[in-house]
Amino acid sequence: MSPLDKIIRQIIAAQGALSLAAYMELALQNPDHGYYRVREPLGREGDFVTAPEISQMFGEMIGVWCAEAWRELGAPDSFVLIELGAGRGTMMRDALRATAKVAGFHAAKKLYLIESNQVLRDRQRETLADYAPQFIDDIVQAPPMPVLILANEFFDALPVRQFEKTFRGWGERMVTVEGDALALSLRPMTDAETALIPAVLREASPGAVFEFSPQAQHIMRDLSRAVAANQGAMLIIDYGFVAPSGAPTVQAVSRHAYANILERPGKVDLTAHVDFTSLGQAAHHAGLNVSPVIGQGEFLRNLGIAIRAESLKKQATPDQAAAIDEALLRLTDDAQMGGVFKVMEVRA
């Protein structure tokens, strides 16, 4: 039993069952034992690998996007470049290297990172030492000037409430204790809560599941207001969906393998697929323009990743060239990350 497991059981004993969102918040963000607060989860020695860790080409294409977005803003003399959940700083490092020759871009940028994990903050500070990153806890702390916001695999790590259709109607999945283990139970929902269920699922068959992230909505509203107030653009890349399927997506990963979401809280990564439609609606409400959601593969190909791969291969050994091809396939193929991961652009 992990230390956080004991804390969660004590809370349930004192207050009753927890929503799945409350459980995930404790498991991921508890100050002393939360997964994203006290460990470095990335890489082969960690629990998962993200696109920037697969190839420098990913971050370089993000740099291309940043340069184009900055020019579309009129190439302002000062602007804020913000990344949410920057991991080891790999993507931002590669993006800034790719923009080094864009006249005026580096002189104009002010780099800010939003990161809750102190271990990763230290790594980001080291990786990006040449670019003098500043750390903030919330978008509202950024200075009021044109802004570019990057969020790669950020929203999937936010807690979700989970609702299940039964023969008696919709109920919310809760975390409780049964015997010696944490377990899921259902509680009835109010009419106001049931109204959260999208119309396409309200008449679904028993067993259908809908997930909703209040925290994602809150953060997206704040980000959208910043983009609208200061003029700017936002890029969101994550695995997720445009239309809900009725299947649960919350999952746990440990050492690159799936795990039980209720076992070893604080020791395993918990994520859920991102609802791009709800994020887009929050941006629309702020008066922003939202692009159609496309696959990561299409997005990277549009920015020229295949051309970049060929350029890298010209100076590579045969083994290195094969690795470049493998990384390109993994990042862009529709059967791999290219199709699973989605991209949404938001502009003022």
Confidence category of residue 116, pLDDT binned at 50, 70, 90: confident
**Those residues with Cβ within 8 angstroms of residue 144's Cβ, 6 or more apart along the chain or in another chain:** 229, 230
* Mean per-residue pLDDT of the chain: 94
Q: Which residues pair with 147 in a beta bridge?
A: 80, 232
Gap between the terminal Cα atoms of the chain: 48
Mean pLDDT value of segment 158-169: 95
**Those residues with Cβ within 8 angstroms of residue 257's Cβ, 6 or more apart along the chain or in another chain:** none
Give me the pLDDT at residue 255, please: 75
Q: Does some domain include residue 324?
A: yes
Mean pLDDT value of segment 75-85: 98
User: CB–CB of 50/153 below 8 Å?
Assistant: yes
For residue 122, what is the domain's CATH number? Answer: 3.40.50.12710
Confidence category of residue 47, pLDDT binned at 50, 70, 90: low
Q: Does some domain include residue 14?
A: no
Residue 39: other Cβ atoms inside 10 A: 17
* 251-291 confidence digits (pLDDT tens): 998 876 889 999 999 989 999 999 999 999 999 999 999 99
* 190-236 confidence digits (pLDDT tens): 889 999 899 889 889 999 999 999 999 999 999 999 999 999 999 99
What total number of domains does the chain contain?
Answer: 1
Q: 117 or 93, which is more confident? A: 93
Give me the pLDDT at residue 42, please: 60
Q: Where is average pLDDT lowest: 10-19, 44-53, 158-167, 294-303? A: 44-53
Q: Does some domain include residue 12?
A: no
| Domain housing 137 | 51-158+214-249+270-347
Confidence category of residue 97, pLDDT binned at 50, 70, 90: very high
Q: Where is average pLDDT lowest: 6-15, 35-44, 108-117, 336-345? A: 35-44
Q: What share of the chain in percent tops pLDDT 70?
A: 97
Give me the pLDDT at residue 295, please: 97
Mean pLDDT value of segment 20-36: 93
Q: Does some domain include residue 89?
A: yes
Q: Does some domain include residue 95?
A: yes
Q: Which H or E run includes 38?
A: helix 35-38
Give me the pLDDT at residue 244, please: 87
Fill in the amino acid letter for 37.
R
Q: Does some domain include residue 221?
A: yes
Residue 330 confidence (pLDDT) above 70: yes
Q: Does some domain include residue 67?
A: yes
Confidence category of residue 118, pLDDT binned at 50, 70, 90: confident
User: CB–CB of 149/92 below 8 Å?
Assistant: no
Place of tokens 């960690």: 46
Q: Does some domain include residue 189?
A: no
